[in-house]
Chains A and B, each alone.
Chain A
Amino acid sequence: MTDFFTLKNVLAAAINADPVLRLAHLTAWLDPLWSDDEDDWVMPQDDDGTLAIALRILRRAFPDIYFEALLAIRSGATYQRLDHLICDAVQLQGIPLENLEWLPFGIPLPAYGASLEDPDFYETHPDTIPVLACFGISPDPNPYNVDIPDVAYKAAAIIADNLVKQQNEGWRQVAWLLRFLFSLSGNSSVDWDYEMMAEVQPLSWEAEDIEFARDIIEEADGIMADVAAALQWISQHPAVLDSLTHNIRKVYQKKGKENARYQFEWPCPAQHDERAAQSVA
C-alpha cells in the first residue's frame, strides 16, 4: 500500500516536471470540463443531465462555485448534497436559487407581485385589506373574481407620486405600499406575480445579466422592506387610513385625471392621535 502511494507521488512529480504534462494535469484538476466533451455529460446520480448543465453554467457564471462542486463530486457527494451546496453558494451571490433544476432556465427572480383580481391574494395578504378598502376594493362582493376599476390604479399612481415627496418617512413608505399593491413600482420582481414572471424570458447567466438581476433583487428587497414597514406603521396608526381615504376620494371625484389640481393633506399621525385623545378626554 505504501508502495502504491509512493508510486502515485512519483508519477505526479514526473508529470509536473514536464510543462505540457503539467498543463494537462492543471486542466484535469481545475477545469475538467474545458473541452465540453460528450463523455463529460455522463455523471453519477444525474440521469436527466441537470447536474451536468448546472456545472457548465457555473463554470461561466461562478467559477469558484464550479470548483467547489467539482471538489464535492470528487469526494463522493450525493446529488442532494450537491444541490444544497450549489444553491446555498448561488444564494450567497445574491440570486435566490431554490433548486438545481431551475438553473438551466435562467436567473430565477423573486415574484412578489400583488394579484388584486385574485381572491387568494386577500387570504395570503390580509393586512392589505384595510388599505385596499380605502380605494373601495374588497373581495367580499364577489369572492370568485375581484373587480378593480381603472380609476383605482390612476388614483394609486397620483397618490403614491405625491406621498413619495413627503418628509414623513411613514407616508413615503405608504407610497411604496401603494406602488406594490397596484404594480406601479417599475421593478419587475415587485410588480409581477409568478404567473406573469413565467411568461417572460428569464435573464441569462451572462455576467451583465447577473449584475442586472442583483440590482433588481436588491431594489425589490428594499421596496418590500418599505411595504412591510408601511403596513406596520398603519397598524400602529389607524388614522392613516382616514387620511388615505379622504385624499383618495378627492382623486375619485375628478375621475383620476392626472392634470387636475389636487390639494392633498397628509397629517403626521402622531399629532392626529394626540388630537383624538384630547377630544376623548
Chain B
Amino acid sequence: MFDAGMTAETLRDCLLNLPPLELLGMKLLQDSPHAGFFPSDVPRESLKAAVVEVIEYGDRCQAAARRLSDLTPIPLRKVELWEFAL
C-alpha cells in the first residue's frame, strides 16, 4: 500500500473523507429525544430492521478490529522520535 504512493497522511485523509455511516437505530434515538432511555413508541418493523443492522455493524467492527490487530508492524522511518533518543 505504502509502496503505491499511499502515505500515512493520505490514508488518514482518505478515512476522514468517508461519509458517516447512517444507522437506523441512531436515527430512531435522535427522533425520540424525550422518550427516556429506551424509546417504546417505535414501529416493530423499524425496530427489527434496526436490530439486524446494529448486530451486523457490531460484527463488522469486531472483524475489522481483529484484522487490524493482526497487521504486520510497519516501520515509520520518516518519523523522528526524540523522546526515544532521550
Tell me the A residues contacting B by CB distance below 8 Å.
5, 8-9, 12-13, 16, 19, 22-23, 25-27, 29-31, 34, 59, 63-64, 66-67, 74
- Complex Cα distance A16/B39, Å? 12
- Complex Cα distance A12/B34, Å? 8
With CB as the reference atom, state the residue of chain A lying closest to B33: A13
- Complex Cα distance A13/B55, Å? 24
- Complex Cα distance A16/B31, Å? 10
- Whether the pair B26, A26 counts as a contact (CB closer than 8 A) is yes
In the bound complex, residues from chain B placing their C-beta under 8 Å from that of A64 are: 47-48, 51-52
In the bound complex, residues from chain A placing their C-beta under 8 Å from that of B52 are: 63-64
Say how far B13's CB is from chain A's closest CB, in angstroms: 20
Size class of the B contact interface (CB-based, 8 Å): 20 to 34
- Whether the pair B26, A31 counts as a contact (CB closer than 8 A) is no
Say how far A225's CB is from chain B's closest CB, in angstroms: 32
- Whether the pair A8, B58 counts as a contact (CB closer than 8 A) is no
Contact (A67, B33) CB under 8 Å given A29-B25, A59-B55: no
30 contacting pairs across A/B (C-beta < 8 A): A9-B33, A12-B33, A12-B35, A12-B36, A12-B37, A16-B29, A16-B33, A19-B20, A19-B26, A22-B26, A22-B29, A23-B23, A25-B29, A26-B26, A27-B54, A29-B29, A29-B38, A30-B25, A30-B47, A31-B51, A31-B55, A34-B58, A59-B55, A63-B52, A64-B47, A64-B48, A64-B52, A67-B47, A67-B48, A67-B51
Tell me the B residues contacting A by CB distance below 8 Å.
20, 23, 25-26, 29-30, 33-39, 47-48, 50-52, 54-55, 58
Interface of B is mostly: helix
In the bound complex, residues from chain B placing their C-beta under 8 Å from that of A19 are: 20, 26
- Whether the pair B48, A9 counts as a contact (CB closer than 8 A) is no
Say how far B22's CB is from chain A's closest CB, in angstroms: 12
From B37, B48, B55, give the contact of A29 (CB < 8 A): B37
In the bound complex, residues from chain B placing their C-beta under 8 Å from that of A67 are: 47-48, 51
Interface of A is mostly: helix
In the bound complex, residues from chain A placing their C-beta under 8 Å from that of B48 are: 63-64, 67
From A8, A12, A30, A74, give the contact of B51 (CB < 8 A): A30
In the bound complex, residues from chain A placing their C-beta under 8 Å from that of B54 are: 26-27, 30-31, 34
- Whether the pair B30, A16 counts as a contact (CB closer than 8 A) is yes
Contact (A22, B58) CB under 8 Å given A8-B37, A63-B48, A64-B48: no
- Complex Cα distance A34/B48, Å? 16
Say how far B16's CB is from chain A's closest CB, in angstroms: 15
- Complex Cα distance A67/B28, Å? 15
- Whether the pair B58, A31 counts as a contact (CB closer than 8 A) is yes
**Residue in A8, A9, A16, A26 with the greatest tally of chain B CB atoms within 10 Å:** A26
- Complex Cα distance A34/B62, Å? 10
- Complex Cα distance A273/B36, Å? 74
In the bound complex, residues from chain A placing their C-beta under 8 Å from that of B37 are: 8, 12, 25, 29
- Complex Cα distance A93/B82, Å? 63
Say how far A166's CB is from chain B's closest CB, in angstroms: 47
Say how far B85's CB is from chain A's closest CB, in angstroms: 36
Say how far A86's CB is from chain B's closest CB, in angstroms: 15
- Complex Cα distance A47/B34, Å? 37
With CB as the reference atom, state the residue of chain B lying closest to A66: B51
